[in-house]
Amino acid sequence: MLLVAEPVLGPEERAAVMAVLESGWITLGERVRTFERAFAELHGVADAVAVDSCTAGLHLVLKALGIGPGDEVLAPSLTFVATVNAILYVGAEPVLVDIEALQHPLMSIAQAEAKITSRTRAIMLMHYAGHMAERRMWRDLASRHGLLLIEDAAHAVGVAGVGSYGDGSAFSFYGNKNMTTAEGGMVLMHNPEMLERVRQMRGHGMTRSVMQRLVARTPHYDVDMLGYNYRMDEIRGAIGLVQLSRLEAMNTRRAALVAQYRALLARLENRYEGFVVPRPQSGLSAHHIMPILLPVGANRDRTAAEMHLAGVQTTIHYPPVHTLSYYRQRAPGLHLPLTEEFHRRELTLPLHPKMDDSDVELVVNTLENALENAFAPNYG
């Protein structure tokens, strides 16, 4: 089976993990700190804070920025539910926004501005598929209305400029991401004092970590804020350092695969009305996933099933948050027509650095064959 996503792990990661195990220090320590500094340097910022997930990172960013009960945060519905869950974690109210267009499935700036109220405190961007939101337009909108700007950068690690224009940003190292530590995340913040607040909150709000107490040769610490258990361990920090060292090469390979996909899929765009290959308006992408929109009337389940039988996995990114049971109960009348249309027709094709050119040809040929039967009635 050709998988939608597959991590690139090898002897370097294995050796890094073994070195941690042999060291006897496996919790938060110097490897995590080295990973933080290296990640910050790669993204052109002064420092970073490693956490145990992107979800935890978003939660801490919102807390550090003082967003809470009574506040509204604009966010896309076309995202993984964690983006919106984090807003509820701090007691704020998510206000879900439609996408710009089927070809450009990031949050619509015009629709976002139309939903700003006196209670709006922040905008939560999500760089869907690794496609960077346009920096200047979103910064201008936030500045005009006095709003905070937060980047959910789970899909966009390694892209030039990502994490640098929001007041805070969070990245994911989950197993299907461009680089992985199995589970894990990273936080960047514009204000260094806010970043230190995140660092303290990730470890129960303690004023000194275990490593700091060891170096200082004193067991004493205080807790002067509400904290959480969101720390990264040394095993993940060690894997992260190896993954980070090859991130540029892996992202470059992803870009080459996407270019090949687009060249081969052009024949389907010409053949089928409504067949769409989304592209970043900004021109910048980490190429995290390879979404396409099937033609109007094509049976997606049948297409996916036939591709699976031919040895090609596909999936869907994502069921819109406002259509999920919990959120539908919170806002039963919400209708986001472009987001809903995108979801009805979206299919995600395999994309990862282990693929070669022949794999892309296989996927496109398999998709083309499956579409021959995708318009037959009464499937399933």
Query: Can you give the three-state secondary structure of the chain, one letter per residue?
Result: CECCCCCCCCHHHHHHHHHHHHHCCCCCCHHHHHHHHHHHHHCCCCCCEEECCHHHHHHHHHHHCCCCCCCEEEEECCCCCHHHHHHHHCCCEEEEECECCCCCCCECHHHHHHCCCCCEEEEEEECHHHECCCHHHHHHHHHHHCCEEEEECCCCCCCCCCCCCCCEEEEECECCCCCCCECCEEEEECCHHHHHHHHHHCECCECCCHHHHHHHCCCCCCECCCCCECCCCHHHHHHHHHHHHCHHHHHHHHHHHHHHHHHHHHHHHHHCCCCECCCCCCCCECCCCEEEECCCCCCHHHHHHHHHHCCECCECCCCCHHHCHHHHHHCCCCCCHHHHHHHHHEEEECCCCCCCHHHHHHHHHHHHHHHHCCCCCCCC
Distance CA 147, CA 123 (A): 7
Residue linked to tokens 């993984």: 80
* Domain at 11-246, CATH from 3.40.50.800, 3.40.50.80, 3.40.640.10, 3.40.50.11400: 3.40.640.10
pLDDT of residue 377: 66
- CATH for the stretch 248-372: 3.90.1150.10
Distance CA 286, CA 159 (A): 6
- Choice among 63, 115, 177, 354 that is catalytic: 177
Q: Cβ(152)–Cβ(127) under 8 Å?
A: yes
Residue linked to tokens 């129960």: 204
Over residues 278-330, the pLDDT tens digits come to 999 999 999 999 999 999 999 999 999 999 999 999 999 999 999 999 999 99
One-letter amino acid for residue 338 of the chain = L
pLDDT of residue 378: 59
Residue linked to tokens 């069921």: 319
Q: Answer whether the bond into residue 165 is a cis peptide, omega within 30°.
A: no
pLDDT of residue 128: 98
Intervals of the chain under pLDDT 70? 377-380
Q: In the chain, how long is the greatest CA-to-CA distance?
A: 73
In this structure, what are the phi and psi dihedrals at residue 285, rounded to the nearest 5 degrees? -160, 150
Q: Where in the chain is the domain with CATH 3.90.1150.10?
A: 248-372
Residue linked to tokens 């205080």: 222
Retrieve residue 313's tokens: 């996995």
Q: How many residues does the chain have?
A: 380
Q: Cβ(36)–Cβ(186) under 8 Å?
A: yes
First to last CA, the chain: 23
Over residues 182-208, the pLDDT tens digits come to 999 999 999 999 999 999 999 999 988
Retrieve residue 332's tokens: 């039963």
Listed residue (160, 161, 317, 171) closest to 252, CA to CA: 160
In this structure, what are the phi and psi dihedrals at residue 97, rounded to the nearest 5 degrees? -125, 145
Task: Kindly give the pairing relationship between strand 290-293 and strand 72-76.
Answer: unpaired
pLDDT of residue 81: 98
Distance CA 232, CA 213 (A): 18
115 is a catalytic site residue: no
pLDDT of residue 292: 98
Over residues 233-250, the pLDDT tens digits come to 999 999 999 999 999 999
Cβ-based neighbour number of residue 9 at 10 Å: 15
Q: Where in the chain is the domain with CATH 3.40.640.10?
A: 11-246
